[in-house]
Amino acid sequence: MAQAEPKLVPDISARSIQIRYSFTGAQLLLFGAILYPGGRVPRHPADVIVVLKGPVEPILMREKAKIAGIWMNADSNRFRSAPSFYAVASSAPVRKLVDERTAAIYELGLQDLQLSPGGGALPDKERRFEAGLLDVRKRNGLYAENPHGVEISEGVLYRARISIPSQVPVGTYTAETFLVDKGKVIAAATKEIEIGKSGFERYVALAARRHGFLYGLAAVMLSLGLGWAAALAFRRRF
């Protein structure tokens, strides 16, 4: 009979995160246990990789260039779908745990993230824009890698902390945990996290979604009113 495989029992510190006007970011704790058959921990315990993904979205990337002394949009490329947020943490560098094929199948790492380019562009251009997208989102804290971000205690308990930036997009996030042994994924588990807006921010977001025309009209009127008030105050002062 085939030997039974270990199982993962994952959990997260918060099932939902609410974004308010004072939201400056959060620390999300992903933790759990590894259940080995018979309760016996092997001499060389398995490793753990944790991936947190945000909802996918289409993206239009523009490349700026200096033309006649002015920075302008010189080129663009469209991606059909890309995760709005992506963070991976592991107990060791991913490339030391799995081979390139396994990393590509499970999208373990930024270099193996499937960005789904729109097509029609030359391969060199697609690679350039993919590198640009990864760079921009890493600098904004929306894409991150931590090759030593998972701690494993006694070969059984694991935990990882992932930073959630203040400008994180709202939606349903997926936390995936992979148990890796001898270069293979031997177990996996998934949890979902809801990130949404609350208070006045939620009211504004719902108004923009449900009443787009009225929301746009109100925004224009507010801008005109603020401009008129600023001009009036400037005129009285001088």
pLDDT digits (tens, 9 = 90+) for 74-123: 788 888 889 999 999 999 999 999 999 999 999 999 989 988 777 666 77
Structure tokens at 178: 């992979």
> 24-64 pLDDT, tens per residue?
888 899 999 999 988 888 888 899 999 999 999 998 888 88
> 145-199 pLDDT, tens per residue?
999 999 999 999 999 999 998 888 889 999 999 999 999 999 999 999 998 876 4
Half-sphere exposure of 214 (CA within 13 A, CB side): 7
Least confident residue range of 43-47, 174-178, 228-232, 234-238 = 234-238
- Beta carbons within 10 angstroms of residue 54's beta carbon: 23
**pTM exceeds 0.85, yes or no:** no
Q: Over 60: is that where the pLDDT of 211 sits?
A: no
* Residue that has been written with the tokens 């697609």 in this structure: 126
> Which residues make beta-bridge pairs with 49?
90, 178
* Residue that has been written with the tokens 């070969």 in this structure: 155
